[in-house]
Chain A
Amino acid sequence: MEDRLYLPEVSHLMRTTFATLPRWWITAAALTVTAVLLSPFYWVLVGSFMTPAELFGGQMSLWPKHFAVENWSVAFSRLWPHIQNSLFVSAVASIGTLLITAPAAYGLVWRKPRGRQTLFAFTLMTQMLPAIVFVIPLFIVFTKINLVNTLYGLILADMTFTIPFALIMLSAYMKDLPYELVEAALVDGAGQLRAFLMIVLPMTLPGLITVGVFSFLIPWGDLIFALSLITDDSLQPLTLQLYKAFGQYGIDWGFLLPGSVLTAVPAVIFVIAASRFIVAGVTRGAIK
């Protein structure tokens, strides 16, 4: 499928309409559209280097007059402990999600345990539920068992987002698994676990990576669970710390904008590095 996407002859849909236009002309149009649609992102990038006076000084400025690098150094040093919290929470949640959903997706798709349809339907159903349905009970229960104000509590809460999502996406990948290979290994005397580790996991590696990254990014960007479960300042993840930054003494844009860009770093790296896989992965999960 990847190769097919870039063959010239598949673009029949509009080709004849614009057949007379040279290709660079289309590129110019596409770049213009892209630039307009991404201008808010451009604003936060350059704005993070501007002083508040320049940012909201009444005159539009498209490029910093002088780069206020101190915005960034101050924001980074103030946010570093919280970046560490976010890294820890997201990494553990992502690994935990894969450990739980990879065997489950394989088991549900190929080993056919009884009740799998019910379990799968339940998983799909949870995608429709708003976060508040989980937030209130988890807050009450975690208060009782002393998981409030711990990073582990936050990780478990975040996993209620990542686990159903990961299972749905991984199941789509598992369906493409050539099961004959697993059966051949079983015939050759490999145990179920061994067949899973040595054949299923390597063969679904692209799916595991995509799902693992998404399961990292979801907790990384989460606000609602952090907001309700973490009050201790030293435990706050990046998003919560930035959310708390406004309100007290007005908005410190010189801190907020670099902080917002910092929060976006993992996602932007990911999208630039793997846009093709994202397109393929999301399409699979959603359409199949």
Chain B
Amino acid sequence: MRANAKTPASKDTKAVVAERPRPTARKARFDTSPYLFILPFFLFCLLLMLYPVVYSLTLSFREATVDTFVSGDMPFNGLTQYQAAVVDPVFWRAVVNTVLFAFFSILFQFTIGFVLALLFQLNFPLKNFCLAVLLIPWVLPVLTAANIFKGLFNDVGPINQIMHLVGLGPFPWLADPSYAFPATIVANIWIGFPFNFILLYAGMRSIPVEVYEAAKIDGANSWKRMVHITLPMLKPVSAAVLMLGTIYTVKVFDLVWIMTGGGPANGTHLLSTYAYQVGFSLLNFGEAAAIATLMVLLVLLLNLVQMVLQRK
């Protein structure tokens, strides 16, 4: 993407290595120090990351409920958990919700981020100030953002108050799933747009000025420069932004758990909140682990679809 000043494999580094006199003339011993540097990280990965992931996967094939958990033997029972998950209509509701949640979140986050990134290509007084405060929604703890929107969408909250001023509503924002679900998406768009904004902003900055100058000399107007330079040259950055956006959005948990808890009537569940409910409210860890596995497959599938679409 950008020419790295120095990568580990760059030529001049190798040259330095070759010319340097060997510190010891003894025959080369196996150098353990690289392994010592990464040892703590390696152990952490093994014990607290790989082990849980594998555990979660095997758990999805076991009967792990309160009874078996207390007695300690969690017997294998094949695909029973997966069967139990996929016959539940709430599971499919959660699948559809997760996909819609991701799609609409990313669509609007990206659009808002893109327009802002364009605007901030201009230089104007107070630009740095605006840029800094626009990052706030993204760094806020999700709990804060969730509570804000829980308040804004309150029955008698500011959004219904504004609606009332223009003669609409009141809407049962968090009391009816068909309103509560869009409300959670709005909140998530608010959390995520700054991330899209700064990446696209930096991406546009990295397009060389000379390209625009050359195009201008050749008589391309600003619209043409946009379509033929900005958009194509921004493609790698956009692809990265969309891929990360998908990964992050499918993982969203706190926001929905705090705003609606998956309700009302299980109508706003995402796979993450549904899996958590099955695991920690219904205490069926095996089925929760099965849902978690299916969720990972969904992330992979969505990223695959995205890659295929972007290839075109």
Question: Which residues from chain A sit less than 8 Å from chain B, CB to CB?
Answer: 4-6, 8-18, 23-24, 26-27, 29-31, 33-34, 37-38, 40-41, 43-44, 47, 55-60, 99-101, 103-104, 106-113, 116, 119, 122-123, 126-141, 156, 159-160, 163-164, 167, 175-176, 178-180, 183, 186-187, 189, 192, 196, 217, 220-221, 223-224, 227-228, 239, 242-243, 251, 253, 256-257, 260-261, 263-264, 267-268, 270-272, 275-276, 278-279, 282-283, 286-288
- Among residues of B, the one whose C-beta sits closest to the C-beta of A283 is B202
Q: Chain A: interface secondary structure?
A: helix
> How far, in angstroms, from A271 to B21 measured CA to CA in the complex?
47
> How far, in angstroms, from A56 to B44 measured CA to CA in the complex?
48
**A127:B247 contact, CB within 8 angstroms:** yes
> How far, in angstroms, from A89 to B285 measured CA to CA in the complex?
27
* B148 CB within 8 Å of chain A: yes
Q: How far is the CB of A51 from the nearest CB of chain B, in Å?
A: 14
> How far, in angstroms, from A103 to B7 measured CA to CA in the complex?
18
**A137:B296 contact, CB within 8 angstroms:** no
Q: Which residues of A contact B213 (CB under 8 A)?
A: 12
* B28 CB within 8 Å of chain A: no
Interface pairs (6), CB distance under 8 Å? A14-B119, A47-B151, A111-B37, A189-B23, A223-B258, A256-B147
- Known A37-B134, A40-B148; contact A217-B139, beta-carbon cutoff 8 A: yes
The residue from A119, A133, A189, A257 contacting B56, defined by CB atoms under 8 A apart: A133
Identify the stretch in B77-85, B154-162, B176-184 within 8 Å (CB) of chain A at 4 or more residues: B154-162
Q: Which residues of A contact B251 (CB under 8 A)?
A: 130-131
**B148:A34 contact, CB within 8 angstroms:** no
**A44:B147 contact, CB within 8 angstroms:** yes
Q: How far is the CB of A54 from the nearest CB of chain B, in Å?
A: 11
**B142:A14 contact, CB within 8 angstroms:** no
> How far, in angstroms, from A110 to B289 measured CA to CA in the complex?
38
Identify the stretch in B89-97, B99-107, B190-198, B304-312 within 8 Å (CB) of chain A at 4 or more residues: B190-198
- Known A38-B136, A126-B49; contact A107-B254, beta-carbon cutoff 8 A: no
Question: Which residues from chain B sit less than 8 Å from chain A, CB to CB?
Answer: 1-2, 4-8, 13, 16-17, 20-21, 23, 33-38, 40-42, 44-45, 48-53, 55-56, 59, 64, 69, 112, 116, 118-128, 130-137, 139-145, 147-152, 154, 156-158, 161-162, 165, 190, 193, 195, 198-199, 201-205, 207, 209, 212-213, 216, 222, 225-226, 230, 236-237, 240-241, 244, 247, 250-251, 253-254, 257-258, 271-272, 275-276, 279-280, 285, 288-289, 291-292, 295-296, 299-300, 303
**B69:A140 contact, CB within 8 angstroms:** yes
> How far, in angstroms, from A79 to B182 measured CA to CA in the complex?
32
- Known A129-B53, A140-B285; contact A112-B128, beta-carbon cutoff 8 A: no
**A175:B4 contact, CB within 8 angstroms:** yes
**B244:A286 contact, CB within 8 angstroms:** yes
**A126:B53 contact, CB within 8 angstroms:** yes
> How far, in angstroms, from A163 to B46 measured CA to CA in the complex?
12
A137-B55, A187-B23 known; 4 other A-B pairs, CB under 8 Å?
Answer: A113-B37, A176-B5, A192-B33, A257-B151
**A27:B133 contact, CB within 8 angstroms:** no
**A137:B59 contact, CB within 8 angstroms:** yes
- Among residues of A, the one whose C-beta sits closest to the C-beta of B57 is A133
**A113:B130 contact, CB within 8 angstroms:** no
Q: How far is the CB of A184 from the nearest CB of chain B, in Å?
A: 9
Q: Chain B: interface secondary structure?
A: helix
The residue from A40, A56, A100, A136 contacting B41, defined by CB atoms under 8 A apart: A100
Q: Which residues of B contact A253 (CB under 8 A)?
A: 151
**B143:A137 contact, CB within 8 angstroms:** no
- Known A13-B118, A282-B198; contact A56-B154, beta-carbon cutoff 8 A: yes
> How far, in angstroms, from A261 to B36 measured CA to CA in the complex?
43
**A128:B205 contact, CB within 8 angstroms:** no
**B16:A268 contact, CB within 8 angstroms:** no
**A40:B118 contact, CB within 8 angstroms:** no
**A271:B279 contact, CB within 8 angstroms:** no
The residue from A23, A101, A122 contacting B124, defined by CB atoms under 8 A apart: A23
Q: Which residues of B contact A30 (CB under 8 A)?
A: 119-120, 124, 126-127, 130
Q: Which residues of A contact B6 (CB under 8 A)?
A: 175-176, 178-179
> How far, in angstroms, from A8 to B124 measured CA to CA in the complex?
9
Q: How far is the CB of B153 from the nearest CB of chain A, in Å?
A: 10
Q: Which residues of A contact B285 (CB under 8 A)?
A: 136, 140
Q: Which residues of A contact B280 (CB under 8 A)?
A: 139, 227-228
Q: How far is the CB of B191 from the nearest CB of chain A, in Å?
A: 10
> How far, in angstroms, from A112 to B38 measured CA to CA in the complex?
10
Q: Which residues of A contact B143 (CB under 8 A)?
A: 221, 223, 239, 242-243, 260, 263
- Among residues of B, the one whose C-beta sits closest to the C-beta of A270 is B139
Q: Which residues of A contact B123 (CB under 8 A)?
A: 6, 8, 11, 23
Q: How far is the CB of B54 from the nearest CB of chain A, in Å?
A: 8
Interface centre among B165, B213, B292 (most CB of A within 10 A): B292
Q: Which residues of A contact B253 (CB under 8 A)?
A: 130-132, 223-224
**A163:B44 contact, CB within 8 angstroms:** yes
The residue from B158, B199, B230, B241 contacting A13, defined by CB atoms under 8 A apart: B230
Q: Which residues of B contact A131 (CB under 8 A)?
A: 251, 253, 272
Q: How far is the CB of B304 from the nearest CB of chain A, in Å?
A: 12
